[in-house]
């Protein structure tokens, strides 16, 4: 799967919520990179700019807009690093004190119970194999 397909699938499955997030500006993405001291991968930047406002299932990746609250990406990453997530991984989604992290283009799962060898080759694969699948949707284009 590629990012355009993953983003299209997230958009298709987006559920209305009482207070939806908005997509960030390019300046907000750059500010988050600066605060974290990282450069986001092309795929992650694309996700933030094109699909970080979607609500699909129970997983909630961090966002970089000022109104992010508990989903603030910078705070999520800083918290994860305090838990022991490697500093060169970018924790972008928390799941009960476990974290999904970007290590270059690869997505890695980090468990607070100890290490994990779970990984996905890229963000698009993680979106389909974890986020959409956990929402109860197993195949692309299936009926909701």
Reported as a single tens digit per residue, the pLDDT across 50-93 is 999 999 999 999 999 998 999 999 999 999 999 999 999 999 99
Residue 143: pLDDT above 70?
Answer: no
Contact partners, residue 120, CB within 8 Å, separation at least 6: 106, 107, 126, 129, 130
Contact partners, residue 143, CB within 8 Å, separation at least 6: none
The domain limits of the chain are 3-67+83-134
**Four-CA torsion 127, 132, 134, 137, nearest 10 degrees:** -150
3-state secondary structure of 114: strand
The second-level CATH assignment, the architecture, of 3-67+83-134 is 3-Layer(aba) Sandwich (3.40)
Element (H, E) at 119: strand 119-120
Q: What integer pLDDT is reported at residue 116 of this predicted model?
A: 77
Contact 72, 34 (CB under 8 A): no
Reported as a single tens digit per residue, the pLDDT across 15-54 is 998 988 899 999 999 999 999 999 999 999 999 999 999 9
């Amino acid at each position: 799967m590629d990012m355009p397909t993953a983003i299209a699938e997230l958009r298709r499955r987006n559920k209305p919520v009482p207070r939806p997030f908005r997509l960030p500006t390019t300046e907000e993405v750059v500010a988050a990179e600066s605060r974290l001291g990282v450069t986001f991968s092309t795929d992650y930047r694309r996700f933030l700019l094109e699909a970080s406002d979607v609500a699909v299932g129970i997983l909630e990746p961090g966002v970089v807009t000022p109104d992010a609250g508990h989903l603030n990406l910078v705070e999520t990453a800083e918290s994860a690093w305090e838990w022991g997530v490697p500093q060169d991984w970018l924790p972008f989604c928390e799941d009960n004190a476990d974290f999904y992290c970007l290590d270059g283009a690869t997505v890695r799962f980090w468990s607070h119970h100890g290490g994990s060898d779970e990984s996905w080759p890229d963000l698009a694969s993680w979106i389909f194999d974890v986020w959409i699948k956990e929402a109860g949707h197993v195949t692309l284009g299936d009926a909701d």
